[in-house]
Amino acid sequence: MKISKAVFPVGGLGKRFFPITRAIPKEMLGIIDKPLIHYAFEEAVDAGIEEFIFVTRHGKYSIEDYFDFMSAHAKYFNIKMGSVCYVRQNEPLGLGHAVLCAKNLIGSEPFAVISADDYILGESCVGEMITHYDGSNMVAAMNVARSEVSKYGILDVERETDRLVIAKSVDEKPSVGTAKSTYGIVGRYILSHKIFDVLSDLAPGVGGEIQLTDALLKMIPICGLTGFKFAGKRFDCGSKEGLLSAILHVASGDDKLNCVVENFYKDRK
């Protein structure tokens, strides 16, 4: 099925990176020389997305400046920009609320959602998901450490195949004791437009936020929920540890930078 639109929610506060995120959006933090949002955008382009919708907020203007620059230099970046537009999230009321803000730009077709703070290296995760999309709400899923389940939406598994996890339920940030599996949702989604009706009626959930996971749960009887086991390597760049790991990983694989990483460890011995 053709999916042509992607929503990039970039309205979060990025509290785990205070104070830098008081002035610089989390999505503009860099892995060496490119901001996280650049990699997310490239992933969407590689997946065949043609319309890019950023849900932005006060203080996030540098993202717009960055994509103005990319549009002007699309040839240099060797990237097909498609149509880029912005919609405001007036208050950071949660990921579900950010997605709802894009409602008027989506229409009645399924669409992708991409969180730039989940950096996924390798084959385009969204591209793989589109290839396997079957009409149910689809989320990227990976096995996480049991001690970490309270950081994720966790799937309750009905059955699974090689690449797919069919969920009978989903729980946002459960405790270690109550988690039904270790399949955690990471920030890639292919959603039915019907999710907007559910989101507009949704009460705040965990952390007082409008949770996308709660809408996915409500929609299981309508269209199901499928976790997709993606092939790429994912870094949680919403955390300091994850961003640092991503930078080290990229630097280690770079011909000019790998010696810096090696020398750093040598000097410490």
In whole angstroms, the minimum distance from the beta carbon of 90 to ligand UTP comes to: 10
Contact 110, 220 (CB under 8 A): no
User: 224 or 235, CB closer to ligand UTP?
Assistant: 235
User: 92 or 204, CB closer to ligand UTP?
Assistant: 92
Question: Residue 14, interface with ligand UTP (CB under 6 A)?
Answer: yes
Residue choice 3, 6, 9, 154 for contact with ligand UTP (CB under 6 A): 9
Question: Angle between the 258-268 and 240-252 helix axes, to the nearest 10 degrees?
Answer: 110
Specify the length of the chain in residues: 269
Phi, psi of 60 (to 5 degrees): -105, 20
Question: Residue 22, interface with ligand UTP (CB under 6 A)?
Answer: no
The conformational region for residue 182 under phi > 0 = left, psi -120 to 50 = alpha, else beta, is alpha
Interatomic CA distance for residues 55 and 10, integer angstroms = 6
Residue choice 3, 6, 12, 124 for contact with ligand UTP (CB under 6 A): 12
Closest CB to ligand UTP: residue number = 12
Question: Residue 130, interface with ligand UTP (CB under 6 A)?
Answer: no
Interatomic CA distance for residues 202 and 207, integer angstroms = 14
Return the closest-CA partner of residue 34 out of 189, 186, 230, 246. 246
Question: Residue 93, interface with ligand UTP (CB under 6 A)?
Answer: yes
Question: Residue 206, interface with ligand UTP (CB under 6 A)?
Answer: no
267: Cβ contacts below 8 Å, ≥ 6 apart: none
In whole angstroms, the minimum distance from the beta carbon of 32 to ligand UTP comes to: 20
In whole angstroms, the minimum distance from the beta carbon of 55 to ligand UTP comes to: 5
Interatomic CA distance for residues 193 and 249, integer angstroms = 36
Residue choice 53, 116, 142, 170 for contact with ligand UTP (CB under 6 A): 116
Kindly indicate which of the ranges 112-120, 146-154, 162-170, 177-185 contains the residues binding ligand UTP, using the contact rule CB under 6 A.
Answer: 112-120
Question: Residue 82, interface with ligand UTP (CB under 6 A)?
Answer: no
Beta bridge partners of 226: 138, 166
Residues that bind ligand UTP (CB under 6 A): 9-16, 26, 55, 89, 92-95, 97-98, 115-117, 238
